[in-house]
Structure 1
Amino acid sequence: MTVLTHIKNEPAEKSAAKDCDSIVVPDKPNLSGDWPNFFLLLLLYTMQGMPLGLAAAMPIILQSNKNVTYKDQALFSLVAWPFSLKLLWAPIVDALYVQNIGRRKSWLIPVQLLMGASFLYLSNNIDDMLPETGKPNILKLAYVFFAAKLLAATQDIVVDGWALTMLKKNNVGYASTCNSTGQVMGVMISSVFSVLLTSEDFCNKHLRSVPEKGGIVTMRSLFFVWGIIFMFVTILIAILKKEKDNRLEDDHVKLNIVQNYSLLWDILKLPSIRIIAVALLTAKIGFAATDSVSILKLIDAGVSKDNIMMIHTVMFVIKIVLPLVVAKYTSGPKPMSVYLKATPVRLVVNVALLALVYYTPKLITVNGVVDVPMYYYALLIFILSIHDIISNIMSVSTVAFFSRISDSRFGGTYMTLLNTLSNLGHAWSSSVAIGMIDLLTFKKCSLDPDNNCSTTDLQNTCKTNGGDCVIQVNGYYVETAVCTVIGIVWFGIFFKILKNLQIKSPSHWLVNVKPPTPIKEDDKNDKNTYSVIVK
């Protein structure tokens, strides 16, 4: 395919060689002079996290309504799809823009204004969609939150691409810090405010001296304030933040939409990317059972859902601070080394959580009554803290690696491709892990050895006859063991591969280009305009 590139008055052969071979990855990050950009990225990722937090909190709010069924929850769960599908429109975001506004601002400004408008729409309609009594309008909620998630996913494409050029080249590793910390801050703000601060029980128990009706804020007022903030911040960015003219960059290439989709395929054909794709799609198998099922098993054992939610709220603080602490390690030239060092620790945490789930019924039950002692919560917080810290370190390291290897000319598409592969690896392994638990669990009726309690009817028959379905083989333990073994095998296979990939020449991650030649008669007077072939 033929595209345009601007080379600063250099001979064609020299510039082509420069594009492919002589790009140097600085190994000494220094935020001096880059702090305003760092904090702007942090703000943008925080704004991105707020719709994500609301979408994550809404099932909890819905489940507290007795009129909501699991079928309704399944319908609302479709709002998570946009982040897994954003690769479909990432090339459009990279290819279409207004040069006078800026490549990234052309999308960022309207998208964030629409996000603000979504909050204002929710402010005016949330009481009808989510009444205090009666059945919520699940379909309408799903439509609105799907649209909000779609906008957040598009904003993610834009900000991921902008981060590669907004920060100095030696600081691009800090983009992962902004991403992880900012997104968690946004999720925490929106979920904590929308769930806890609007809860009458929570506010009366923890925030008020005299009980009152309702929370200290309402959903309607929260959405209104957030909508105004989104509008105000976006307008300030539009006015005050000047985007670099990407045409002045030495390696600038402009692609149309068709070429961008072809580019996506060209990136996937790079040998190193194919290896990374296999690693990303299989990396989460080792932790799938622990990440997806452990908390559910603790709740089944009798641990309060409210207390687990409170613990997770505290964990948000760790997730916010941790990326800043580990930034000096993940922003360097070898972020995957940090990931690989954390992997064995996370596999050990699998065993720790498995043991905790196994002993929980014995630790929290006294004479058949659930009475959770304080030392149990201390143990639970300790193990979950280690789990979240290691998981967060691995996430930050992965995003830092993506930022370092992504071709800034096609940043939105490149980063979105890598993030999509990572998200898909998590999504499919988690879904399979949850779905396989029942298949790997074997039960028998205590009064009838021939009744394996495999169906609802058989379970009801057992209970009607006065028996109990006793677990003979717990699928959680089997699955955790299998996943951990697979994780160990994965680590053995990819340890040297990933260590070697992160030190490869930058040309291994760039789309190959042929030497440029002038493209049009009209462009002969423009010494900076050439035709290049992207294979």
Structure 2
Amino acid sequence: LGSVLLLLALYVLQGVPLGLAGSVPLILQSRSASYTEQAFFSLVFWPFSLKLLWAPLVDAVYVRRFGRRKSWLVPTQYVLGLFMIGLSRRVDALLGDGQGRGPDVVALTATFFLFEFLAATQDIAVDGWALTMLSRENVGYASTCNSVGQTAGYFLGNVLFLALESPSFCNKYLRFQPQPRGIVTLSDFLFFWGAVFLITTTLVALLKKENKELTPTKEETKGITDTYKLLFSIIKMPAVLTFCLLILTAKVGFSAADAVTGLKLVEEGVPKEHLALLAVPMVPVQIILPLIISKYTAGPQPLNTFYKAMPFRLLFGLEFAFLVWWTPKVKHEGGFPVYYYVVVLLSYALHQVTLYSMYVAIMAFNAKVSDPLIGGTYMTLLNTVSNLGGNWPSTVALWLVDPLTVKECVGAQEQACGTAAAAELCTKAGGSCVTTLDGYYVESVVCVILGFAWWFLFGPKLKKLQDEGQSSWKCKRTN
């Protein structure tokens, strides 16, 4: 039980940096960052998708006396803790003061990219340690600890933080006397978690011993170069290459809905902490859904579920665009009516059904075709490609919102609003910039069209991969 609780605690710590990074775009949006800046910041979420590139290094290089996993886990968590404490002193300046001095997005991106890189490295070490830390009868709890711990950590770093950081939320629900600031700031929050990281890591370093007899000597003798060669030989296989190319392009149709909708709602006046709090009733949905869907994906053809769910998820792209258009129409003095939040919550919940149907189907397929002789490397590669297939369309979708948006200068002669400088000139001339065509709506329609085109042209090809024999997925290894 002690090992299970420790593993859970390590996964909670891992979720906190993820949650904090997820809350920054909402803070930037409330401080009028452009969508090009949001796209740049979205690069922060890439390290978790690319961790396969340095995972073999983490597996193969270590100090034997200290322990295979602790050699990476302890230094990484110490650096994360010190990094958070150091960042807590500068983060308010990086976010801007909201009084004319905007956020320093380049510095924020560089900082949080490093932050997420460290969290991803910690993830590799914890995943590896989970297999030897738990006794053989408890090893099945590893994935439960991962999903529960990461979700809880993300909740603490995202939902809880945004609620406590919001002056309006704190004044309404937690205070008797209104104050101009929330109960915590981002710098307070970072300092607190930095201290938690340092204390936890010290305890793990001193008190937890690795199971020496369970350290897999055969596995570790596979050198770093062997692992990279193995990855390359897996990717070269025709069936795997086809699958990778299809999965890298499958999520283009969802990019506007997934990446831009939440930011648009904040832009239209929905308080960011309210959006974050909608995640609370979604937690049971996210726990129950995979259990229900796995019944349908457990058979020999899990990708049929993926194919059937895709058009429904694409249609949510149009529904979300309608939701954003409808938002300013229902806004009143005191904010938004309850029925508005009910509609948003229902939309999100139904969208989750389609999202999880596709996610669980892909995971089931990856597990089905992965060559058991190679172990985790094969499965990790397929999951990495699947994650990347969601990352790059989101970044591109955010990048294109501003160029696709058309604005006019109203109230001033011969002025334009194409750039920030031009918009400033328009304001100085007594005019104001009015959006005549929002790039988000253009993107929403184009994405749905592209998504359905993919579904018609490439969907059947993806389903056909299920008919390939097991030999098509077996890696021809040269020993």
TM-score, normalisation: structure 2: 0.77
The alpha-carbon deviation at position 343 of structure 1 amounts to 1.5
1:186 matched to which residue of 2? 153
CA contact (8 A) 1:161 1:415 kept: no
Is the aligned partner of 1:56 residue 2:22?
Answer: yes
Structure with the larger helix share = 2
Is the aligned partner of 1:414 residue 2:378?
Answer: yes
2:183 matched to which residue of 1? 215
2:405 matched to which residue of 1? 441
CA contact (8 A) 2:303 2:463 kept: yes
**Count of paired positions:** 468
The alpha-carbon deviation at position 117 of structure 1 amounts to 1.8
Q: Distance in 2 between matches of 1:408 and 1:99?
A: 27
RCO higher in 1 or 2 (8 Å CA, sep ≥ 6)? 1
For residues 200-231 of structure 1, the C-alpha deviation after alignment (integer angstroms, 9 at most, x for no partner) is 66445324557799738953344323443455
**Residue type matched to 2:55 in 1?**
A
1:98-497 paired onto structure 2 within 5 Å: 106=68, 108-118=69-79, 120-121=81-82, 125=86, 128-130=89-91, 145-158=112-125, 180-197=147-164, 202-208=169-175, 215=183, 218-219=188-189, 220-230=191-201, 232=203, 238-239=209-210, 243=214, 245=216, 247=218, 255-330=222-297, 333-364=300-331, 371-446=335-410, 453-460=417-424, 462-463=426-427, 467-497=431-461
CA distance change for structure 1 residues 148 and 303 in 2, over 3 Å: closer, same or farther?
Answer: closer
What secondary structure, in the 3-state scheme, does the structure 1 residue paired with 2:446 have? helix
Cα RMSD of the aligned pairs, angstroms, is 4.7
Q: Which residue of the other structure, out of 63, 75, 88, is the alignment partner of 2:53?
A: 88
The alpha-carbon deviation at position 287 of structure 1 amounts to 0.4
CA distance change for structure 1 residues 504 and 232 in 2, over 3 Å: closer, same or farther?
Answer: farther
CA contact (8 A) 2:307 2:459 kept: yes
**Residue type matched to 2:253 in 1?**
G
CA contact (8 A) 2:21 2:112 kept: yes
Q: Distance in 2 between matches of 1:424 and 1:148?
A: 19
CA contact (8 A) 1:162 1:411 kept: no
CA distance change for structure 1 residues 256 and 354 in 2, over 3 Å: closer, same or farther?
Answer: same
CA contact (8 A) 1:407 1:414 kept: yes
Q: Distance in 2 between matches of 1:277 and 1:397?
A: 15
**Residue type matched to 1:52 in 2?**
L
CA distance change for structure 1 residues 134 and 254 in 2, over 3 Å: closer, same or farther?
Answer: closer
CA distance change for structure 1 residues 371 and 340 in 2, over 3 Å: closer, same or farther?
Answer: same
Q: Distance in 2 between matches of 1:463 and 1:126?
A: 36
What secondary structure, in the 3-state scheme, does the structure 2 residue paired with 1:110 have? helix
CA contact (8 A) 1:173 1:400 kept: no
What secondary structure, in the 3-state scheme, does the structure 2 residue paired with 1:453 have? coil
CA contact (8 A) 2:60 2:220 kept: no
**Residue type matched to 1:439 in 2?**
P
The alpha-carbon deviation at position 282 of structure 1 amounts to 0.5
CA distance change for structure 1 residues 416 and 237 in 2, over 3 Å: closer, same or farther?
Answer: farther
1:512 matched to which residue of 2? 476
Bigger CA drift: 319-328 or 481-490? 319-328
**Residue type matched to 1:323 in 2?**
P
Larger Rg: 1
For residues 437-484 of structure 1, the C-alpha deviation after alignment (integer angstroms, 9 at most, x for no partner) is 233333444568976632345545555555554444332222211111
Q: Distance in 1 between matches of 2:135 and 2:450?
A: 39
Q: Distance in 2 between matches of 1:147 and 1:470?
A: 38
For residues 148-186 of structure 1, the C-alpha deviation after alignment (integer angstroms, 9 at most, x for no partner) is 4223323444566678999999x9999877655543232
**Residue type matched to 1:215 in 2?**
I
Bigger CA drift: 207-216 or 471-480? 207-216
Q: Distance in 2 between matches of 1:482 and 1:225?
A: 46
Bigger CA drift: 270-279 or 351-360? 351-360
CA contact (8 A) 1:42 1:181 kept: yes
Q: Which ranges of structure 1 fall in alignment gaps of 5 or more residues?
A: 1-34, 514-532
CA contact (8 A) 1:198 1:215 kept: yes
- Among all aligned residue pairs of Structure 1 and Structure 2, give the percentage whose two residues are the same amino acid: 40
For residues 414-456 of structure 1, the C-alpha deviation after alignment (integer angstroms, 9 at most, x for no partner) is 3443233223322221122122223333344456897663234
CA distance change for structure 1 residues 396 and 177 in 2, over 3 Å: closer, same or farther?
Answer: farther
The alpha-carbon deviation at position 285 of structure 1 amounts to 0.5
